[in-house]
Structure 1
Amino acid sequence: KSVLGKRLSQLCGGSFFQRLLTRFTTPEEIFGPLSLKALENDEYLRKTDGFLPTATVAFLDEIFKANSAILNTLLTILNERQFDNGAGLREDCPIRCVVGASNELPESDELDALYDRFLIRKEVLPVSDEGILQLLGMSLPGQSSCEDNRPQDGDECETIFTDDLEDLIKAVSIAADNVAMDDEACALMKDLRTFMREDLNVDVSDRRLVKATRLLKVSAACHGRTKVDPLDCLLLQHMIWRLPEQRAAV
């Protein structure tokens, strides 16, 4: 999971932030320490360089152990891409992607809003008996994996950077704006929401439906289509469920 976050950071070409959260994690560990110079001037400011507010990609392990001191600020960063740095000062965050991981699903209502912010969900199962041999042959964390994936001609592994990522994102966004949701696709979304509520007792929020629809349009645009296709709707199986066992029903 952490490797996924690091690779996304390399793709985006920005800074990477990683933390393991516990019930005792303090805001200083996530958002940065208080500025002592600012305190001398009766100002409440954090030094955010190198912390989540200035990261491009972040990996937060055991994210549902976040306490209330962290939760509200984290929600603002995830939803509005802004960080409240005291005295009403809102700073824009360059965050592109946040990968969250947990060994348990949220059990309290106060964590439901945080859970809802993560649009794409993926259950990671233990390694199968067939896959354990491949796992045992992999490089240990921190060691180079070039030997395993090096092409036959001996080329070295290369880090992927996308210099024109901003232009690419803008182009895809404009194309997605021109993708239509026809009556069939809208009816499918409506029926799915009703099914989740009545059959699985899962309330799909308006926010999640809107974001899911946007991702379907992005998928259609990336495939050169002008309207959402049933194939795009296959992505819904990774967005709508609340419990892993509900994915098959979706």
Structure 2
Amino acid sequence: MSAADLAFSSLAVKTKSPMRIALLGGFDLMVDDVPVAVPVGSKRLLAFIALNYRASVPRSLVAGSLWPDASEHSAYTNLRAALSRLRGTARKALDVSSAEVRLARDVTVDLYHSRSLAQRLLDPGGPVEDLRLNAATVDQLSADLLPGWYDDWALLEAEHWRQLRLHALEALAGEFIDAKEFAGAVSAAHAAVQADPLRESSQASLIRAHLAEGNPSEALSDFERYAQRLRDELGLRPTQRLHRLVAELQRSRPRNGSPRS
């Protein structure tokens, strides 16, 4: 273990101020909700360790994942450099040993709060009423993971999160409809559609929210926009299941294009 690593390890102690790593919507290291400056090269290190949350990650895995095209020696050298560039408060985000790197015990990660929320929404046996669903719930599920990052490990985790949050947003829209909180239902479904405009189940959630709120014209307009986009981009048509949601509206629509009330 180098002298620099020993110095780093000795400084990786508990911080009295709440420290948080944000991965959703972009990377940030925060202390008391104030951003902490982190060198660009060290952000990748912190993000990679944060994605492993409470696990201890072997140095060999860290180095090989962050610098996959470098030789083993060069990758280890790059890892030592990334660790040494962390200064002051930022050093306290990690616990480092001669063999492993892990997140410091007091550091929280926004992804894991949002992931826990998504999993509870999707748990068929879970008491959803305990979640206190509101507009902030939609916000927690609306941000991409590390947008603009193209490392293989970041892209893989981003896709896992995208799939989980899309299912959770659709479930959330349904919960809002059941509670007759229609603005929340439309907001949750819109967030899902924005994340993947061609995903039919998200579009169905939005149409159901409009119908539950008593806005058939918006439901039909959204269906037609989706059908046009699906045809233009993929050469496909909506399934019969989606057609059935608006079939009555289409039959009752007068020739001027607006559904009868």
TM > 0.5 between the two? no
Larger Rg over CA atoms: 2
TM superposition score normalised by structure 2: 0.27
